[in-house]
């Protein structure tokens, strides 16, 4: 039985929080506004305009390319229409509001593939060019896989036969990808050699964003484990999880399950075996373990993920408390109780009638925007555990038509 302790003060909690890292030259991260890779600021002639929450798959593709090529660049974050109003300064630059975009010497380029082709012309390809015949074949396969996933996820099935046909079609295309992954001993589609190892090349970058989202959405809405059903894709994902360049961009199942509906138009649930179980584990914050991420090499470092979660929450605690539905700053103690429980592995009783407020926050942690996947997992679990001490009340439902509940404006105010 866990020991019951009192909620620690913010001062006490801050002693356990992770110390700030080098956002500019250290590992890839979603918080930096400048990335230099130990080069001069004058070398950062590229500006990447990406979405504020790191939900956009096409932004992730360009972001990964720049990181793997170690091209110095600046970052400006823009609001996606599904969670807020597009900034006027951005619409002056890009009237369509499209994301991503890059700016080089006052020239704006949109469309992720066009952006990468321009970057290839200036800095050279990431291994093979996007116009290489092998890469073009992989690009067509990625679009084929994307189409089969959209058909299964976003178009309702009224008969079991329709659903099974969509599932079978997706599986067949995924198996085509697995055959391609067998062609290189490295496990990458188009590997690039570095001083220490091989890393993913241009074709791999094309697949990363949507395979990440397929893995999350098919588990949540269909009960389908991409990693179990397709072991070569699983190995490819495991290799990605060992790269700082990727981990800095990686979302989790909870984030993708709930950010996709307003972006895709709709995501339809079908009660295959495990679907209800998977969805409940995702929604209650416990996650799906190895189905989400298998590389946990840093777990031997005690409290690492808890410390990172503490650092991220403490940095924004006033705004987190201010926007919570629990009014009059009454959320301060329940929030400290959850953080105390998370770090000290003890029961910490929150103020009464705080369960819905704790679950409101649990449901709105966004990965990687707020914190890394494994930090979000332990924090969500602590929020749910603390909420369960108080009661069963749920917070407001997560909307599906838009995500105005994730509007970043309150966090941009000084």
Q: What is the pLDDT of residues 103-131, one digit of tens each?
A: 999 999 999 999 999 999 999 999 999 99
- Which H or E run includes 107? strand 107-110
* Residue 332 and residue 324 in contact, taking contact as beta carbons nearer than 8 Å: no
Give how far Cα 76 sits from Cα of 204, 209, 255, 268, 412, Å. Answer: 25, 20, 22, 34, 13
Q: Which residue reads 């098919």 in tokens?
A: 218
**Mean pLDDT, range 403-412, rounded to an integer:** 88
pLDDT at 1 over 70: no
- Structural domains for the chain: 10-16+303-412 (no CATH), 34-123 (3.40.30.10), 133-291 (1.20.1050.10)
Q: What is the pLDDT of residues 155-188, one digit of tens each?
A: 999 888 999 999 999 999 999 999 999 988 889 9
The SS3 assignment for 215 reads helix
Q: Which residues contact 69 (CB under 8 A, 6 or more apart)?
A: 119, 123, 124, 126
- In angstroms, the CA 155 to CA 100 distance is 27
pLDDT at 233 over 70: yes
How many CB atoms neighbour CB 145 within 10 A?
20
Looking at residue 320, its pLDDT comes to 95
- In angstroms, the CA 238 to CA 106 distance is 39
Taking each helix axis from N to C end, the angle separating 231-240 and 202-222, rounded to the nearest 10 degrees, works out to 120
Q: What is the pLDDT of residues 16-55, one digit of tens each?
A: 999 988 999 999 999 999 999 999 999 999 999 999 999 9
What are the CB-based long-range contacts (under 8 Å, 24+) for 318-321?
A: 319/410, 319/411, 319/413, 320/361
* Residue 250 and residue 212 in contact, taking contact as beta carbons nearer than 8 Å: yes
Confidence bin at 414 (pLDDT 50/70/90): very low
- In angstroms, the CA 248 to CA 405 distance is 24
**Mean pLDDT, range 87-91, rounded to an integer:** 97
**Mean pLDDT, range 352-370, rounded to an integer:** 96
Q: How many residues does the chain have?
A: 414
- Which H or E run includes 110? strand 107-110
Q: Tell how far CA 350 is from the center of its chain.
A: 29
Looking at residue 52, its pLDDT comes to 95
Structure token digits, residue 12:
């006490």
Looking at residue 121, its pLDDT comes to 97
Q: What percent of the chain has pLDDT over 90?
A: 89
**Mean pLDDT, range 232-252, rounded to an integer:** 96
**Mean pLDDT, range 87-116, rounded to an integer:** 97
DSSP 73: E
């Amino acid at each position: 039985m866990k020991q019951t302790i009192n909620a620690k003060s913010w001062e006490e909690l801050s002693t356990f929080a992770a110390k700030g890292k080098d956002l500019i030259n250290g590992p890839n991260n979603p918080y930096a506004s400048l990335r230099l890779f130990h080069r001069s600021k004058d070398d950062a002639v590229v500006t990447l305009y990406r979405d504020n929450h790191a939900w956009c798959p096409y932004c992730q593709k360009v972001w990964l390319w720049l990181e793997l090529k170690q091209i110095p660049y600046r970052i400006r974050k823009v609001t996606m229409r599904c969670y807020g109003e597009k900034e006027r300064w951005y619409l002056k630059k890009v009237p369509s509001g499209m994301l991503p975009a890059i700016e080089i010497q006052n020239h704006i380029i949109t469309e992720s593939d066009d952006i990468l082709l321009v970057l290839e012309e200036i800095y050279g390809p990431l291994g093979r060019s996007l116009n290489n015949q092998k890469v073009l074949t992989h690009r067509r396969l990625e679009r084929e896989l994307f189409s089969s996933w959209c058909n299964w996820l976003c178009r309702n099935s009224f008969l079991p036969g329709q659903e099974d046909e969509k599932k079978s079609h997706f599986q067949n295309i995924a198996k085509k990808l697995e055959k391609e992954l067998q062609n290189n001993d490295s496990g990458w589609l188009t590997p690039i050699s570095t001083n220490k190892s091989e890393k993913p090349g241009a074709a791999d970058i094309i697949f990363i964003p949507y395979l990440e989202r397929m893995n999350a959405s098919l588990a949540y809405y269909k009960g389908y484990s991409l990693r179990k059903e397709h072991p070569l894709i699983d190995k490819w994902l495991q290799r990605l999880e060992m790269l700082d360049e990727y981990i800095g961009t990686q979302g989790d199942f909870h984030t993708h399950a709930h950010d996709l509906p307003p972006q895709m138009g709709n995501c339809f649930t079908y009660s295959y075996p495990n679907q209800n179980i998977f969805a409940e584990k995702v929604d209650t914050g416990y996650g799906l373990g190895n189905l989400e991420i298998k590389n946990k090499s840093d777990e031997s470092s005690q409290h690492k993920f808890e410390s990172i979660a503490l650092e991220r929450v403490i940095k924004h605690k006033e705004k987190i408390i201010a926007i919570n539905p629990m009014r009059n700053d009454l959320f301060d103690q329940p929030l400290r109780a959850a953080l105390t429980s998370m770090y000290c592995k003890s029961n910490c009783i929150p103020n009464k009638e705080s369960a819905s407020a704790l679950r409101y926050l649990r449901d709105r942690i966004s990965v990687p925007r707020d914190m890394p996947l494994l930090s979000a997992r332990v924090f969500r679990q602590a929020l749910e555990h603390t909420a369960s001490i108080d009661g069963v009340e749920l917070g407001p439902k997560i909307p599906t038509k838009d995500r105005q509940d994730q509007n970043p404006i309150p966090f941009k105010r000084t």
